[in-house]
Structure 1
Amino acid sequence: MKLIWIRHGETDSNRERKYLGHSDIPLNEKGEQQARELARQLSQQLKRPVALYASDLLRCTQTARPLADEWGLPIISVPALRELSFGDWELLTYEELMRSDAERAVRWYDDPYRCSP
């Protein structure tokens, strides 16, 4: 079995370098172009897969949609594939986070298993 992991295309919040986590942000125009180009290239390089899984977040299903259309596959929505939830930090930039919650952020960066956002 061969697994191929794909990160979603660009969103405005990604471009602004914000922590997205579970925030349901759509792809921007560039992200939509990236998804179409990904589908074009992968359809030329790979044979049709047996399944296509994606997080249930909009940016992920939007990235998967051109692949699903190209291969004639349904997108199997899997909430467990979501990015880490950043809680109160969602939609903050790194700079905003360091101004508002620097102590906890430093602890999380040093030991993400014992400190959560």
Structure 2
Amino acid sequence: MSGDASVAVSLKPGITLYLIRHGETDWNRESRYQGQRDIPLNETGIAQARRHGEILKGIVPSVANFDFVSSPLQRAVETMRLTRSALGLDPDAFRTAPEIVELSYGHWEGELAAELPARDPEGVAGKSADPYGWRPQGGESYRDLEQRVSAWLASLSTDTVAVSHGGVSRVARGALLGIDRAFVPFLEVPQDRILKLANGKMQWI
């Protein structure tokens, strides 16, 4: 475990980031590792995405000057389109950023979490010993993910609504809030809430 609790990056002064995890997919429901596999939303995920737009419409006076950015994976893009539609905006008028694509789980992608102890006991043991630094075959560690997400966070120049993934949400909080990296892989990542990050603080909406 890293034991590192330093703040790696900060948002520029005055900037607010509304960070949304994509809506639920069937693979989420099954506890199957998705990583960078391109899986669509299910009906629950569609409803969650619409809810995000309704919530934002109620708390943000104007999004005219906001940047809207999504991971390029289908489940994030779908979530962004539905969120923007609920806000009364052109559903396709946003950009994608490969920097906020999900953590790659390499050879674990497509596997059920419940079956991995039997299918890959060495990998499970490695992940248990160092959840932040462990890297699956052909994949990324949380440390790798934080490096690319931190660069993206530092680049934000205006208030932003971003749709991304569970791993990205975790490392963003670790980097911005100085959370001990040993705990980062275990942070909650609800799909029916919006994470507001601003001024070194966080709030679930």
The TM-score with structure 1 as length reference comes to: 0.90
1:1-117 matches, within 5 Å, as 1-49=15-63, 50-69=66-85, 70=87, 72=89, 74-112=93-131, 114-117=133-136
- 1:25–1:58 contact (8 Å) kept in structure 2: yes
**Is there any run of 5+ residues in structure 2 with no aligned partner, and where?**
1-14, 137-205
Deviates more, 1:71-80 or 1:59-68: 71-80
- Measure, in 2, the Cα distance between the counterparts of 1:8 and 1:93: 20
Q: Give the deviation of 1:114 after TM superposition.
A: 4.4
More helix by share: 1
Post-superposition CA distance 1:58-86 (Å, at most 9, x none): 00011111222325362210111111111
How far residue 88 of structure 1 moved from its aligned partner, in angstroms, is: 1.0
Cα pair 1:21 1:83 within 8 Å, conserved? yes
3-state DSSP of counterpart to 1:84:
coil
C-alpha separation between the residues in 2 aligned to 1:46 and 1:61?
21
Opposite residue 51 of structure 2, the aligned amino acid is: E
Higher strand share: 2
Does the Cα contact within 8 Å between 1:48 and 1:71 map onto a contact in 2? no
| CA offset digits 1:67-111 (Å, max 9, x no partner) | 223253622101111111111101211122111111122212322
Q: How far apart are the structure 2 equivalents of 1:113 and 1:31?
A: 28
CA contact (8 A) 2:51 2:83 kept: no
Of all paired residues, the percent bearing the same amino acid is 38
Deviation at residue 47 of structure 1 after TM alignment: 2.7
**Is the Cα–Cα contact under 8 Å of residues 54 and 81 in structure 1 kept in the other structure?**
yes
2: CA distance, partners of 1:34 / 1:113? 29
Distance of 2:133 and 2:30 partners within structure 1: 28
Offset of 1:115 from its aligned partner? 3.0
Deviation (angstroms), 1:15: 0.3
The structure with higher relative contact order (CA 8 Å, sep 6+) is 2
Contact in 2 for aligned 1:108/1:115 (Cα 8 Å) = yes
Instruction: Please say if residues 46 and 82 of structure 2, whose CA atoms lie closer than 8 Å, have aligned partners that are also in contact.
Output: no
**After TM superposition, which residue ranges in structure 1, 4 or more long, deviate above 6 angstroms?**
none
